[in-house]
Amino acid sequence: MEIDYSFLSNTLLFRGTTNDEIRAILQCLQATSKDYQKGDMIYHAGDTVDSIGLILHGSVHIESDDIWGNRSILDHIDNGQIFAETYALIPGETLMVNVVAAKDCQILFLNIGKFIKTCSSNCDFHTKVIRNLLMIAARKNLNLSQRIFHTASKSIRGRLTSYLSQQAKINGSYQFTIPFNRQQLADYLGIDRSAMSNELSKMQKEGILSVQKNTFHIF
């Protein structure tokens, strides 16, 4: 397996490690890589896993199929990011979701479950990876909490204002651009797209905000 160390050392997981350390860690983590074609299922709902996936090339979707067969995309994971770390860390916990290749991709699998539990060599670089994992988990936690927060209101208006207020705060400006199109924003907030469009129109008529494409201006 050809390893691109400079790529890995720029990922959140390996941040702050040297090439030598990465080499050692990959050994510990029993790293293997595998290629997938767009649409391939990488992990199935119901699987138990002990390896996280790190995306070397391409991207994946975290998807959920409900009982009626409706597929919804819960998350998009890009190049350099990891997935399934929660499930790899908690032994025996079954995946609620599918992981599907969004593009052709190459995944590096790292057996983190075994690593956490049994790898005895408590060297410096072990701690680095665990710290990095902790920071990734904390960040993910924050994102999940925020989403729950923004969907707490029962009205479309309430959810929009919650989300948009936060975006304004993050950007430090009443004018900002969001990383979603309308459908994605509606999915994120758990509401119907057309109803949301309608509400945004009303808010513009009321003079609360203005929108051009993904750029919002709150008054």
Partner DNA sequence: AAAAGTATGTTGTTATAACAACAAAAAAGG
Partner DNA sequence: CCTTTTTTGTTGTTATAACAACATACTTTT
Q: Residues in the site for DNA, rule: CB under 7 A?
A: 154-157, 181-183, 190-201, 211, 213-214
Residue 195 within binding range of a copy of itself, rule CB under 8 A: no
Residues 6+ away with beta carbon under 8 Å from 208: 218, 219
Nearer to a copy of itself, 56 or 156 (CB): 156
Least Å distance between CB 203 and DNA? 10
CA distance 35 to 33: 7
Q: Are 33 and 50 in contact (CB under 8 A)?
A: no
Burial, 134: exposed, middle or buried (Cβ in 10 Å; 0-12, 13-18, 19+)?
exposed
Residue 197 within binding range of a copy of itself, rule CB under 8 A: no
Least Å distance between CB 69 and DNA? 14
Kindly state the greatest CA–CA separation across the chain.
Answer: 63
Which does residue 160 bind out of a copy of itself, DNA, none, counting CB within 5 to 8 angstroms by kind?
A: none
Tell me which amino acid residue 55 is: I
Helix axes 124-150, 182-189, angle to 10 degrees: 90
Which does residue 142 bind out of a copy of itself, DNA, none, counting CB within 5 to 8 angstroms by kind?
A: a copy of itself
Nearer to DNA, 92 or 207 (CB): 207
Binding to a copy of itself, residues 123-182 (CB under 8 A): 124, 126-127, 130-131, 133-135, 137-142, 144-149, 151-154, 158, 161
Least Å distance between CB 161 and DNA? 12
Nearer to a copy of itself, 56 or 150 (CB): 150
CA distance 60 to 82: 10
Which does residue 20 bind out of a copy of itself, DNA, none, counting CB within 5 to 8 angstroms by kind?
A: none
Phi, psi (degrees; rounded to nearest 5) at 133: -60, -40
Ordered DSSP codes for 56-97: EESEEEEEEE-TT--EEEEEEEETT-EE-HHHHHSTTPBPSS
Least Å distance between CB 33 and DNA? 29
Least Å distance between CB 62 and DNA? 19
Q: Are 139 and 81 in contact (CB under 8 A)?
A: no
Q: Could you list the residues that contact a copy of itself (CB under 8 A)?
A: 64, 66-67, 72, 74, 85-87, 89-90, 93, 96, 116, 122, 124, 126-127, 130-131, 133-135, 137-142, 144-149, 151-154, 158, 161, 190
